[in-house]
Amino acid sequence: METIWSGTLRKMRVEATEPVTYWLADGYHDRERRTGELRLNDRLGRTLELHFGGLITCVYCGRETRQSFGEGFCYPCFRARAEADICIVKPELCHYFEAGDPCRDEAFAQDHCFQPHVLYVSLTSGRKVGITRRRNLPARWIDQGAVAAVPLAELPSRREVGLLEHRLAERYRDKTHWMTMLKQERPEADLAAHAEEIVALLRAWEVEEILPDAERREQRFRYPVLTYPQKVKSFNLDKDPLIGGTLVGIKGQYLIFDTGVVNLRKFTGYAVEVLGAPA
């Protein structure tokens, strides 16, 4: 085998084709020095290995760090950058309008938070209620390993849609069980009925931003998986710097090998070499 790609890990780039197409994309902080993308669908059924040499860098500032925090931050960026604020994970806690604790970055707030956001339901390991920026669709659904999704409402900001999601969370669970998601092609659930149940609730709450019927259409996704694992063993680059085997599938942000699985997004900022047979 030979080195076929090297770079800094970040979440894979996806395209909603049939099946979904995946590329390894370099997350190095300096865009001018990033490695070109590697199309992973072409590697299905072939041996692939990832070698981690011990270097972790912040994908925002480039600082070397012993540990990656959140989505690839060094600790100073994790503490200071708006991208790492608590409201990114819990948008109902947005503090933009608090005079004593405004947003850490006005430009980020306008580009990320004060943009159209969609409330949706999807099928991952089971039924899920979620939110994302309009421009993130359908990539957000694919990143979560959803096999189907229905957009329900569109609100003008992350805070507003986050408050609505938080209210719905009192009735509906909002968690993907990743092992279950990786072991099945499609969960048995009636997503359309679930979507209409939530729409009825939104109407009862007098939510005005419900999407029209024509836009509340179910979208489906098929993943490039040759074999789903019966048991799931998770690789950890911190403990085992050389992982891999025969690549038998890709779903969500997971590479599925015949020997185990790895969540590439978890290791954002890790510099790796990818080994494989020449094309």
d(C-alpha 262, C-alpha 51), whole Å: 13
Band (279; pLDDT cuts 50, 70, 90): low
Closest CA to 69 of 270, 214, 272, 213: 270
Residue 28 confidence (pLDDT): 96
Query: Once rounded to an integer, what is the mean pLDDT over residues 207-236?
Result: 96
d(C-alpha 20, C-alpha 214), whole Å: 24
Residue 189 confidence (pLDDT): 86
Q: Which two tokens stand for residue 204?
A: 């009862």
Band (185; pLDDT cuts 50, 70, 90): confident
Termini Cα distance of the chain: 11
Query: Once rounded to an integer, what is the mean pLDDT over residues 242-266?
Result: 97
Residue 188 confidence (pLDDT): 82
Q: For the segment 13-60, what is each residue's pLDDT rounded down to a tens digit?
A: 999 999 999 999 999 999 999 999 999 999 999 999 999 999 999 999
d(C-alpha 77, C-alpha 93), whole Å: 20
What are the extents of the domains in the chain? 2-66+225-276, 116-220
Q: For the segment 113-142, what is each residue's pLDDT rounded down to a tens digit?
A: 999 999 999 999 999 999 999 999 999 999
Distances (CA, A) of 40 to 31, 65, 178, 215: 21, 28, 21, 32
Percent of the residues in the chain that have a pLDDT greater than 90, as a whole number: 90
Residue-averaged pLDDT of the chain: 95
Q: For the segment 55-114, what is each residue's pLDDT rounded down to a tens digit?
A: 999 999 999 999 999 989 999 999 999 999 999 999 999 999 998 888 989 999 999 999
Rounded to 5°, the CA angle 240-20-267 comes to 25
Q: Say if residue 278's pLDDT is above 80.
A: no
Preceding omega of 229 cis (within 30 degrees of 0): no
Q: Say if residue 277's pLDDT is above 90.
A: no
Residue 187 confidence (pLDDT): 85
CB 50, CB 272: distance < 8 Å:
yes
